[in-house]
Amino acid sequence: MDVYGLLGNPVGHSLSPPMHEAAYEELGIDARYVTFEPDPDRIGEAIDGARALGIRGLNVTIPFKRSVLSLVEPDGLAEEVGAVNTIDFAHDPPTGHNTDVAGVTRSFAHHDVALSGREAVVVGAGGAGRASAFALADAGASVSVANRTESRAHELAEAVSGASGHALDSLPRLLAGADVLVNATSVGMDGDESPVPREALHADLAVLDAVYSPLETRLLREAREEGALTIDGAWMLLYQGVEAFERWTGERAPVERMDEALRARL
């Protein structure tokens, strides 16, 4: 039996196990997906232990996405983004990937949203913001990053080809001519709040919110009411998992079955 899993702290809330195990069951793969919650100061020992135990692959979440960079051989994209969320132990040293980027691009592709040549706005400059900005830029979009701490928006913009950094109060101006909006902050997860003023939303936008609990955040509700196309955060979670599954197994992921298993837990 092959073992895959998730490395994070905490991980008790994770929806990855049912999603991946549904894929194993669908394809008849003899595997399990388990969670690991190491002490943050012992992440190196955790990676060594996983390798010694023959674990095939690990997803990585908070707070380890950046700290594992030096413990694996990151591919070019993961190195560029500055974060690893998927480790493949098929090689020595293990390789590190960032499938959050694919989570963004495949979510838009699933909803028939073309990104090349579009004007995109990313709210947030943390881990999800970095993955979103790189995903959109690599797909051919022009990217503007807006963040509560403006200096962090500028730092991210400097790392992303052709991007620009802005304060949050620039959102109405930025969104007036935008085609794509990504909320890469946690605003909307714990209350009925939105990081974007309603008056800045319009019907020509495609809006992806990385928050998946609740599925319809205030941002998505208001964007839908303004006529925009909306994409909930479960799609991003799904497609980063699909990308990891396909890297580990070499099999085409049963996307519909994984989506059913994920949404059944939301």
State the catalytic residue, choosing from 17, 29, 65, 135.
65
pLDDT attached to residue 193: 97
d(CA 139, CA 105): 8
Beta-strand pair 73-74/119-123? unpaired
Q: Are 134 and 79 in contact (CB under 8 A)?
A: no
pLDDT attached to residue 109: 98
Percent of the chain with pLDDT over 90: 97
pLDDT attached to residue 200: 98
Whether a cis peptide bond, with omega within 30° of 0, leads into 195 is no
Q: 13-17, 106-110, 257-261 — which is least confidently predicted?
A: 13-17
The 10s digit of each residue's pLDDT in 9-53 is 999 889 999 999 999 999 999 999 999 999 999 999 999 999 999
The CATH class for the domain spanning 2-98+235-263 reads: alpha beta
Overall average pLDDT of the 138-152 stretch = 98
pLDDT attached to residue 83: 94
Domain covering 101-231 in this structure, CATH number: 3.40.50.720
The residue ranges of every structural domain in the chain are 2-98+235-263, 101-231
CA-to-CA separations, 258 to 16, 136, 244, 252, in angstroms, rounded:
10, 24, 12, 12
pTM > 0.75: yes or no: yes
The 10s digit of each residue's pLDDT in 188-230 is 999 999 999 999 999 999 999 999 999 999 999 999 999 999 9
Overall average pLDDT of the 58-68 stretch = 95
Active site residue 41: no
pLDDT attached to residue 30: 98
Overall average pLDDT of the 72-83 stretch = 95
Please tell me if the domain spanning 2-98+235-263 has the same topology as the one spanning 101-231: yes
pLDDT attached to residue 206: 98
pLDDT attached to residue 12: 87
pLDDT attached to residue 69: 95
d(CA 134, CA 222): 26
Beta-strand pair 95-97/86-88? antiparallel
pLDDT at position 138 over 90: yes
Phi, psi of 57, rounded to the nearest 5 degrees:
-165, 150
